[in-house]
Structure 1
Amino acid sequence: MKEVAHAALAEPQTPSADKGAVALRAFFNIAKAWNLDEKEQMSLLGLTSRSTLQSWKAGKVSRIDRDKLERISYILGIYKALHILLPVRQIADDWIRQPNTAPIFGGRSALDRMTAGNVGDLQIVRQYLDAERG
C-alpha cells in the first residue's frame, strides 16, 4: 500500500485529468489502508455528492479541482509522515482513529479533526505530524 501511494506521487507530469486520476488512486489506496467509510472519504475530499465519489472510485475522472488536489496532497503527506514516525504499518494506519491528547485534537482522534470539513484541518494535522518528525 505504501509503495502504491509513493509510486503515484512519483509519476511524471501528465495532463490535468491524468494527474487527478493518479491522485485519486493514491487517495483510495490510503482510504482502504485507513478503513475509511464513504462518509469519511467524502468529508476528506470535500465532496457533497456520493455519485461523484462512486464515479471517481470507478476511475471516471474528467478533472478534479485545485481544492481536491490540495486535500489529497495533505492526506498523502499525513500518510507518509505516519509511516515514517510509526514504521509498523498497522500501528501507523490505526493512529488516525486513536484518541489524542495533543492540544490540537482535544482528546479526539486525528480523523475527527480531519473530517471536520475544512481543508485547514488537514493542514493542521499535517503540520503537527511534520513537527513530530522534527
Structure 2
Amino acid sequence: MANLQLIETTPYDFSPHPITDAEAQVMFRAALTLFRLWDITDDHAATLLDMPVRTFRRWKAGDTGRMSRDLKARLSNLMGIHKALRLIFHEPPRGYSWVKAPNAAFGGRPAIDVMLGGELTDLMRVRRYLDAERGAW
C-alpha cells in the first residue's frame, strides 16, 4: 500500500482584489484610446469618469492625480464594456459605433446616453447588459 501524505492547501480567495494605482493608470490610458474610438468629447469623457473637464484634460496630457476607488470602478466598467463589445462584434468598428446607436434595451436611447447619466451604476447597467448578451452570466 502506497504511503499517501495529506497536503494542506489554502482555499482560493474569490474576493475581489483592489485595483492598484498602477493598474488604474494603465486603464486610464486605455480609456483615452477608447474615448477617441467612440468619438466622444472631453466633456463626455469627464462625465463618464466623474471628474471636472479641466482635470480630465490635465490628466489626458499626462499629469494624472490620485485615483479614487470610484474612478477605478468606473475605469474597470469601461474596460468591461470594451471587452464585451470586442467579444460580441468581430469587426471592432461595429463595436465602437454600437455605443452611439439607438438600442431597444435602453428605451431606444444609445448606450452612451445611459452612461452619460454620470453615475457609476449607469456604466454598470450597460456592462451588465453586454455581459448578459454575450452569455457571461
Structure 1 and Structure 2 fold alike (TM over 0.5) = yes
Deviations 1:71-92, CA, capped at 9 Å, x for gaps? 0100000011001101111111
Separation in 1, partners of 2:54, 2:47: 14
1:52 aligns with 2:55: yes
Q: Spell out the pairing of 1:97-112 with structure 2 (5 A cutoff).
A: 97-102=100-105, 105-112=106-113
One-letter amino acid of the counterpart of residue 98, structure 2? W
TM-fit CA distance, 1:51: 1.7
Deviations 1:22-43, CA, capped at 9 Å, x for gaps? 1210110111111111111011
Separation in 1, partners of 2:40, 2:88: 21
Bigger Cα Rg:
2
1:75 aligns with 2:82: no
Runs of 4+ in 1 over 3 A off after TM superposition: none
Identity of matched residues, %: 38
Residue segments in structure 2 that go unaligned for 5+ positions in a row: 1-18
- State the secondary structure of the residue aligned to 1:53: helix
1:90 aligns with 2:93: yes
Deviations 1:99-121, CA, capped at 9 Å, x for gaps? 0111xx11100000001111101
TM-fit CA distance, 1:21: 2.2
Match of 1:23 in 2: 27
- State the secondary structure of the residue aligned to 1:60: coil
TM-fit CA distance, 1:69: 0.8
> Over aligned residue pairs, what C-alpha RMSD do you find?
1.4
Do 1:82 and 1:129's aligned partners in 2 also have CA atoms closer than 8 Å? yes
Q: TM-score if structure 2 supplies the norm length? A: 0.81
Do 2:48 and 2:118's aligned partners in 1 also have CA atoms closer than 8 Å? yes
**Which has more helix, going by share of residues?**
1
| Count of aligned positions | 117
